[in-house]
Structure 1
Amino acid sequence: MKLFKNFISYYGPYKALFFADMFCALILSAIDLVFPLIVRYLLNDVYVLQDGNKIIKYVIYVGIALLIMYIVRYFCQYFITSWGHIMGAKMEANMRKDIFDNLQKQSFSYYDEASTGKLMSRIVTDLFDISELAHHGPEDVFISILKIVGSFVILAGINLKITFILLLFTLVMLYFSYFYNKKMRNVFVENKEKIAGVNAQIQDSLEGIRVVKSFANEEIENAKFTKGNNEYLKTKEDSYFIMGRFFSGNTFFQGLLYLSVILAGGIFISDGSLKVTDLVIYILYINTFLNPIDKLVNFTEQFQRGLSGFQRFVEVITTKPEITDREDAVELVNPKGEIAFNNVSFSYNNSSDILSNIDIKIQSGKNIALVGPSGGGKTTFSSLIPRFYEVNDGCITIDGIDIRDIKLKSLRKSIGIVQQDVYLFAGSIRENILYGRPGALENEIIDAAKKANIHEFIIGLKHGYGTYTGERGVKLSGGQKQRISIARVFLKNPSILILDEATSALDNENEQFIQKSLEELMKNRTTLVIAHRLSTIKNADEIVVLTDEGINQRGTHDELIEKDGVYSYLYNMQFK
């Protein structure tokens, strides 16, 4: 019922459209039910008249009435087909917005576990099935019930005994449908899980196509795809076997129903309790009675697809984000950038601590370097400051305020991050720089590009700032992408700057060039630099050595070299 109420809630903004659609469905059903009655009237009351003029007169009246009815039916059918589908499409758009909004709220830990391909399957494939159900579901059920009940009442009026036989077969068909519906629901859920897996594998393979080709591992990717594709095919085969038994079983029962009506009708005609014309009308009404049953039978497949899709949709939108604003959260106004870790511990998914009892204070405007062996928690340390992950114990403060008491948007607007793995969106260079501060003026974009030493390169391109970067910036070199990402942070103008291995993937020439941009960017900001190339952090105000046991050493470059500890060892290893 909760699932049903959630589904119904999406009809809320379109009540008028929904009821108009149902009204048109009512008119449509009434016209279809009246037609056999008109035929019965012609057979029993008009065609038996001896006067030819009267027959023509009544036939003309009936013809005009039928013409009006079918004109009305045309407009009702048009409304149902067009505006009914539009209503479903609008509901689908609302659901897509809800699922996208909720995905945007999720923390990094959610995406550490989730597959992008599977999420895409829920947004695209599942929502299409839900949209079809949203439109056709109420309308098909409403029309079918009206026709079944209406024709049943009329059939009972023609001959109650045959109608009783009809009822018995209908009840058997309903039980048969209910039994196979349960089976179909389970197999359709499995279908969606398997196709989501296939989508995820395709996305993974295509995004890593350069790695695939560089290792000549196309056969491995084909094998992985074939495995997932065959598993999906197997669930499809299972679903079609069940559907085959379901539809053929219903067709068999319909055949038995016709057989029983013909046999019973013959018996009742022989004893004079049924007219031949009434049997003809009865058979006509059986068609009217069975057509909506057929529609309901066909609808069950759509219903199960839509329902299983909606279940998966609800799973996503009801997932609460781990990191949210507290009720009394405040804006971070003109931050100075003083950062303090107070007895902070953190682990991923309740595993052993990555950081344990970290106590450190970073003065405003200082340049602090984080170094240490891989796995020491350097990137995790920096990821906790913008609350990409939540600390397990202790607290982190900025200007003396617990970051959990600061509104997330305000906190993250105060922090700029330049990463080793630069992500550029598929769009123009201008759009990618503008991402740092949407709404910035053109001269501000150009100024940011100049500070990042990328302006001259951009204006040398055929389309300048309007140049398309390609997916993930594939049309640009590593150094060019890095400088665009630096321009993005210049435009953002944050108080706190995090440089996470910002130059480690570049060659020496590009590294030196970009280092100048970074030095300009670091001026008058609290800066946290994560670096493996220790030559780049010699001039840091303080170097903090992080190991899996916590903060191992602190001091300037010269001080740490003299202490002959972990830093000295790493430095000597690197330059030897």
Structure 2
Amino acid sequence: MFVPKTSYFQILWKSIKWFRVDCRSLTHATPDMQTFNQAKAAGNEVFQIIQRKPTISYEAKGIVLDKIIGNIEIREVYFAYPSREHNLILQGFSLPIRAGTVVALVGSSGCGKSTIISLIERFHDPSIGDIYIGNHNIKDLDLKFLQKNIGAVSQEPSLFAGTIMDNIKIGNMNASKEQIERAALTANAHSFISLLPEQYSTEVGERGVQLSGGQKQRIAIARVILKDPPILFLDEATSALDSESEKLVQDALENVMKGRTIILIAHRISDIIAVVENGVVAETGTHRELLHSSNFYNKLFNMQNLTPESDSR
């Protein structure tokens, strides 16, 4: 009787050995498979963000005007941040602002003062309502053109790792050294820069850690002066400074404010003050008018222990 060399038993035995080898391989691969699945899940969220199409895009072309005069009109604006869609920050906010005037927004924390600035700069769009600059809806304006014509100085200015000259030059990348120094002089920054060993070539460090708060603010103001925008936002620009630094920054702000449309937050120098409560403009008027007509403003004034400004403003 003929018996083949490769019997069914031999084939079965080889299969069992291969199976045992594959099982050991799978056992060793299990931790890697877990890591792979975690990376896949995390990567899915990353790719969703990368592939997301923003509603506000620099690629979208809009109207480019010869000149922005500076009239701003906010009409019945409602807004809630995407992460808190059911919590309306602004609830029918309306405020006309004439070109060349200084308007202060005052109110309690979280009432929507900084949100208004974000909407005018078009970091967000209103849920309902419109914002007009120079009789043009800002949604119709080219985004780069719009933001080029708006300057901002915040409580914590944004400085980048690099030299003082690099940071000022962000306002106008084509500016000459003379223009940069002139802007620094107007911002009361040239005096302290000149005392530094490297002067305008001094490295400021990440977020400007090598400079004091007042010095950073004056560099940020110099940047805005170099940009020369018709509209300027000052978001509590002196609230974190000591008295001496505040005086220097205040003088610099006086220089930059001339001839521009200004919106201030928690600032004392203004033509018109708008009292913001619960996402709407509750009252508007001068400092003296609001002291007599607004209990909220009167209480805020007394809490801050402020002193009245001169009638020249």
| 8 A Cα contact 1:434 1:491, kept in partner | yes
Note the alpha carbon deviations across 1:198-222, whole angstroms, 9 max, x for none: xxxxxxxxxxxxxxxxxxxxxxxxx
1:341 maps to 2:59 = no
Deviating more after overlay: 168-177 vs 430-439: 168-177
Distance in 1 between the 2:18 and 2:139 partners? 60
Q: SS where residue 369 of structure 1 aligns?
A: strand
Partners of 2:69 and 2:61 lie apart in 1 by 22
- Pair 1:507-2:242 in alignment: yes
Alignment-derived partner of residue 54 in structure 2: 321
Match of 2:178 in 1: 443
Partner of 1:546: 276
Aligned with 2:87 (options 347, 352, 359): 352
- Note the C-alpha offset of 1:180: 7.8
Q: 1:431 is matched with which residue?
A: 166
State the AA in 2 paired with 1:426: A
1:7-18 aligned at under 5 Å gives the runs: none
Asked whether the equivalents of residues 326 and 405 of structure 1 are also in contact (C-alpha less than 8 Å), the reply is no
Give the number of the structure whose residues are more often strand, by fraction.
Answer: 2
Q: CA deviation at 1:462?
A: 0.5
Where do 1:125-524 residues align within 5 Å?
172=19, 184-190=32-38, 311=44, 313-324=46-57, 327=60, 329-349=62-82, 350-524=85-259
Count of residues paired in the alignment: 295
- The separation in 2 between residues aligned to 1:405 and 1:182, in whole angstroms, is 55
Cα shift readout 1:412-455 (whole Å, capped 9, x = no counterpart): 11100000012211111111111112232111111110110111
Contact 2:70 2:261 in 1 (8 A): yes
Residues 575/407 of structure 1: CA separation in 2 closer, same or farther (3 Å cut):
same
Report what 2:310 is aligned to.
none
Structure 1 residue 410, shift from structure 2 partner: 1.2
User: Runs (4+) of structure 1 moved beyond 4 Å?
Assistant: 164-183, 307-313, 325-328
Distance of aligned partners of 1:315 and 1:189 in 2 relative to their CA distance in 1, 3 Å threshold: farther
Contact 1:337 / 1:495 at 8 angstroms: preserved in 2? yes
In structure 2, how many angstroms separate the alpha carbons of the residues matched to 1:317 and 1:549?
A: 33
C-alpha distance in structure 2 between counterparts of 1:516 and 1:504, whole Å: 15
Give, in angstroms, the shift of residue 383 of structure 1.
Answer: 1.2
Q: TM-score, normalised by structure 1?
A: 0.47
Question: Match for residue 290 of structure 2?
Answer: 560
Counterpart contact for 1:332–1:407, Cα < 8 Å: no
- Rounded to whole Å, the distance in 2 between the matches of 1:445 and 1:384 is 30
Cα 1:328–1:431 shift into 2, 3 Å: closer
Deviation at 1:333, TM superposition (A): 3.2
Q: For residues 508 and 319 of structure 1, do their structure 2 counterparts lie closer, same or farther at Cα, with a shift above 3 Å needed?
A: same
Rounded Cα–Cα distance in structure 1 between residues aligned with 2:296 and 2:302: 10
Q: Label 1:566 to 1:312 Cα distance change in 2 as closer, same or farther (>3 A).
A: closer
Structure possessing the higher radius of gyration over alpha carbons: 1
**Partners of 2:16 and 2:42 in 1: how far apart?**
32
| SS in structure 1 at match of 2:139 | helix
- CA gap of 1:548–1:468, structure 2 versus 1, over 3 A, is same
**Gap runs ≥5 in structure 2:** 1-5, 307-313
Partner Cα distance (1:314, 1:387) in 2: 25
2:156 aligned counterpart, secondary structure: coil
How well do the aligned residues superpose, as a CA RMSD in angstroms? 2.8
Instruction: Measure, in 1, the Cα distance between the counterparts of 2:206 and 2:57.
Output: 31
> What CA deviation, in whole Å up to 9, does each residue of 1:48-68 have, x standing for no partner?
xxxxxxxxxxxxxxxxxxxxx
Offset of residue 564 of structure 1: 4.2
Change (3 A) 1:186 1:387: farther
State the alpha-carbon separation in 2 of the partners of residues 490 and 327 from structure 1.
28
Unaligned runs of 5+ in 1: 1-160, 193-306
Q: 2:25, 2:63 → 1: CA distance?
A: 57
TM (norm. structure 2) is 0.85
1:418–1:485: 8 Å Cα contact kept in structure 2?
A: yes
Larger relative contact order (CA 8 Å, sep ≥ 6): 2
